[in-house]
Structure 1
Amino acid sequence: MKFGQDFKETLATQDFPSHWVEHAIPYGQLKKCLKKVLKELKDLGLDHDTLQSLIDPENHSPVALKYRLIASENSDIVRPTLTVDVYLEDDVIVEASLTPASRLFFEKIASEVRHSHQADSGSTSGNSSDAGQDDDVSVQDQNSEIQHKKNRRHETIQLPLVFDHEFFEMLQNDVSNIDSLQDTERQQMSDEIKALGEDLAQITKPRRVHRTDMIPWRNIFELYLDAEVFFATHEQEHGARSSQLALKKLQWFQGEVKKRELQRIFKIPQSQVAYDRFLRINANLLKMLQFQEINQLAVHKILKKFDKRTSFGISKSFRSAIQSHQFMTGAIGRDVCAQMSQHLTNVVPQLNDYLCPICFMVAYRPVKLDCSHIFCLRCIIKIQRSRESHCPLCRSDVVMKATIMHLDDDLAKYMKKHFPTEVSDKERHNQIERGLEDYGPGYKHQECSVM
């Protein structure tokens, strides 16, 4: 199936909103415009073979074509410009490979430029009548130079094309329209994320009474962060994901939530509503990525076709010229993920952010060293006993300077409030370690009991 048909079918069958489809790249219209470009070039005597030979950088021909994109002064639109460098001898183009139509066209353009130059030189020729007499040798040199310039002359001519301007203007406007669409969708998703974050802040708020869904939501977001649905941060695998891989990651995340029955342990009815909204935001973002990718492919295909038919080799420079457009950079996934991290996952503190980097348990009774790194009190005491003065992370000479004043009481209260189970486990672990130190390997820990 040709890409044009596949593109049209994808837009019709992927359940994209109708206003998205209206903003899609008009691949069919661009193909028709490309045909007009080719016809215009052919009418000038520039068929495919002629263009290919004149643009070839290894072809040292008296005629050379250059096709460039020139940025407009007052807008972001780039304009295509086709120029021809012509070398004439006795006012005749010496190039055997030119077709008769191409030769006539170039000589006509060169003649118009020559007449324009003659008119300009004629208007200023009277200004030199008062010049002094030179010796005979100087006059002969000047006559020889004039004769050489007359016999061989170089002209740079801009060819008056119309439909290539129409082609690139249409394509750039379409890219800008998709940019505007994505800005609108991004803002809508951002508003939805902020509203959901406010609801989650109430649902997961720690309370004295155990009617809170902080734990299941923490597990949900832990799975979501592990999935890295839309954006990967690993060293070997980083950057935005394709829509196909994002779909697999999202399906894995939903499967894990279902397998662990996290929805069943919700205590607050609003949690299920919030979870459905969270999935809907992800589904909308995935749909936008699919729409973005198919349109990026359409831009790539039409530029590749343009280069193949004209030999102008402009696709890379055009993509570079429009790299400022967010549609081409695929930034929407990264931006929305940043919004979700700020307003959703950060609402429910993750245990990984509060672990001691030595024992990998919650850093309860946290000690903040002068280098700003945080460790649990138990690990700092062990390091001081071993007379190690350097921070295990940055190697600053700060460990032996730590005192009771370095205990972060506010952070300790925060940990006890948001990680009560982990803090209890940490306290029990510390008690067992102290018992072994005080009473030896025969120590058996027993919980405190009131008789």
Structure 2
Amino acid sequence: MKFAQEFRKALQREGFPEKWVHSAVPYGQLKKCLKKVTNELKELGLDKDTLAQLAASQKDPSAVAFHYHLDGKLTDSNHFRPRLTFFIHLQDGVAVDAKLTPSTRDFLKKVVSRTGETSDSPAYDVSHARPDISTKSTDSSPSAEQVSLPKEEHLSVQQVEVPLVFDGEFFEILQTDVSNLDALQQEEQDKLGKEITLLGQDINKATKPSKGRRARGDLETWRNIFELYLDARIFFSTRENDHGARTSAQAVEQLRWFQDQVLSRKLIHGLKLENSRQAYTRFLNMNALLLQILKFQEINSLAVTKILKSKSSSAFAPMSPPSPDFSLTIRAEFDKRTALGVSRAFPVTVQSNRLLAGNVAKDICAQMSNDLISVVPQLDDYLCPICFAVAYWPVRLDCQHIFCSRCLVKMSRKGERFCPLCRADVIMRAGLEHFDSERAAFLREYFPKEVKEKIRANERERNKEIFGPDYSDSPCSMM
């Protein structure tokens, strides 16, 4: 089954909005335009086999060379002006190179025969072979984009530029569509970003500890939900062994694991407030939308890759297919039909901040962390770096690092002067003015259990210092 049919089926199967489907890569239109490109090249005697043989021969720096440049202009018009240029060594009007293959020599004879020039001419000109072909001849050393010649040889280098018509049309269509997809993805990403911000504000309001026991209970439940969500690493992983953005297939598995864990731990039943339950539904819908955006990006990236290049492991690697039946062998279309080798040049030349950049998951996950997950404080963010318990009676040193007062007292008694984190000489200068009263109030409000336990632990440790190591705070028992 042809890729174009699979592409259309994938767009329909995933249930994308109609606006998205209409904005997808016009794969069929590109295939038709590509056929025009191949026909145009054949008319010039530059069929794919000839160009492939020329490309193979020009690996030797002394061989006849051709270059194909896309020359995408960095302007708002996203204009492409592809250029096909040949640099041919001449001697007495005849193309010479001892390492040319017979097929390459046949190709050059065709070019010479079109000019009507004889072998007695000092150089040949193919400008009249076709009205839009330009030539440039030089006896000096070639420029950076020309082929260098051995010093002992004094050969003329004829530069022949063949500005094609339909290849420009092909890349204009592709660049325009990529730009439109970038705009669409930016629009959807902005909508999702606003929903993330609003959801964070709603959860923050619903779980204020000052609103009562049910709000404090929901706060603890949300804390557990977000802890699971961070462990799932659904769309982006920061772990060393699988660092980076997830594919849509991986994201589906991780999202399923997260939901299963929430259900098995009965966390939904822990949300007592209606606002919290509605917020959880919105949270799941938001993740589903992000997953849909990721799938749409993958499908279109795959289409761009399919139309251009031959290997998924080369410079512009596509994302993994969105579903197993969409997994097709990525074969060159433009390169396979023309042998012009654009698969590496296009991803560098094309302007794409979204579709080909593949950073949607990273951007959204960063916003989730800043605007949503952070509204439910996690205990790990408020631990003392020394005792790894909640940093109650927090002391903010001059270096701005925060520790619990008990740990700093013990360090100062030992004569330790330097901050354990940055090694600044600040511990001996700490006093009552360094007590962070706002942070202490925050910890009492959001982590009351942990604060009470820390106070009891400090009292036990202080009493042991006063009454000796055998001190016990267990209640007395009557015999």
Aligned 1:337-352 pairs, distance under 5 A: 337-352=365-380
8 Å contact 2:71–2:349 — kept in the other structure? no
Decide which moves more: 306-315 or 279-288. 306-315
TM superposition shift of 1:309: 2.5
Query: Hey, what does 2:253 align to over in structure 1?
Result: 248
CA contact (8 A) 2:179 2:351 kept: no
Q: Which runs of 5+ in 2 are unaligned?
A: 116-123, 132-153, 310-331
Given candidates 404, 413, 420, the residue that maps to 1:385 is 413
The one-letter amino acid of 1:440's match is: G
Instruction: Report deviation, 1:369.
Output: 1.1
Q: Provide the aligned C-alpha RMSD in A.
A: 2.5
Change (3 A) 1:152 1:442: closer
**Counterpart residue number, 2:454:** 426
Q: Take 2:425 and 2:402, find their aligned partners in 1: how far apart are those partners? A: 15
* Contact 2:72 2:350 survives alignment (8 Å): no
SS at match of 2:71: strand
More helix by share: 1
Output aligned runs, 1:47-446, within 5 Å. 47-56=47-56, 57-59=58-60, 63-72=64-73, 74=75, 75-94=77-96, 96-98=102-104, 103-105=109-111, 107-108=113-114, 110-111=124-125, 113=127, 153-207=156-210, 209-212=212-215, 213-304=218-309, 305=332, 306-322=334-350, 324-446=352-474
Question: How far apart, in 2, do the equivalents of 1:447 and 1:195 lie?
Answer: 50
Amino acid at match of 2:23: H
Per-residue CA distance 1:145-199 (angstroms, 9 max, x = gap):
xxxxxx9643212113111111111111111111011011011111211221221
Alpha-carbon shift at residue 383 of structure 1 (Å) = 1.2
In 1, Cα distance between equivalents of 2:232 and 2:475: 39
**Equivalent-residue separation in structure 2 for 1:208 and 1:443 (angstroms):** 40
Give the Cα separation in 2 of the matches to 1:224 and 1:431: 36
Gaps of 5+ in 1: 117-150
TM-score (norm 1): 0.85
AA in 2 matched with 1:31: K
Q: Is residue 41–residue 47 contact of structure 1 (8 Å, CA) maintained in 2?
A: yes
Distance in 2, Cα, partners of 1:72 & 1:107: 35
Find the aligned partners of 2:62 and 2:53 in 1 and give their Cα distance: 9
Q: 1:107 to 1:351 in 2, by over 3 A?
A: farther
TM (normalized to structure 2)? 0.80
Q: Return closer, same or farther for 1:404/1:49 CA change in 2, 3 Å cut-off.
A: same
The CA distance in 2 between the partners of 1:272 and 1:62, in whole Å, is 71
Residues 236, 101 of structure 1: alpha-carbon distance in 2 compared, 3 angstrom cutoff: closer
Task: Report the Cα distance in structure 1 between the residues aligned to 2:60 and 2:408, rounded to whole angstroms.
Answer: 74
Structure 1 match to 2:3: 3
Question: CA distance change for structure 1 residues 87 and 209 in 2, over 3 Å: closer, same or farther?
Answer: closer
Deviation at 1:48, TM superposition (A): 2.0
Q: Where does 1:4-43 land on structure 2 (aligned, <5 Å)?
A: 4-43=4-43
Which string of whole-angstrom CA distances, capped at 9 and with x for unpartnered residues, describes residues 182-221 of structure 1?
Answer: 0110111112112212211210112163131211112211
Write out per-residue CA displacement over residues 63-94 of structure 1, whole angstroms, 9 at most, x where no aligned residue.
43211121326433333210112334444445
More off after superposition, 69-78 vs 379-388: 69-78
Identity of aligned residues (%): 49
How many residues were matched structurally?
414
- The residue aligned with 1:142 is none
Instruction: From the superposition, tell whether residues 351 and 60 of structure 1 become closer, same or farther in structure 2 (CA, over 3 Å).
Output: closer
Query: CA–CA distance in 2 between the matches of 1:358 and 1:388?
Result: 13
2:209 counterpart SS class? coil
SS in 1 for 2:83: strand
* Cα deviation, residue 314, structure 1: 1.5
Partner Cα separation in structure 2 for residue 158 and residue 244 of structure 1: 46
Equivalent residue of 1:85, what SS?
strand
Please state whether the residue corresponding to 2:372 is helix, strand or coil.
helix
- Structure number with bigger Rg: 1
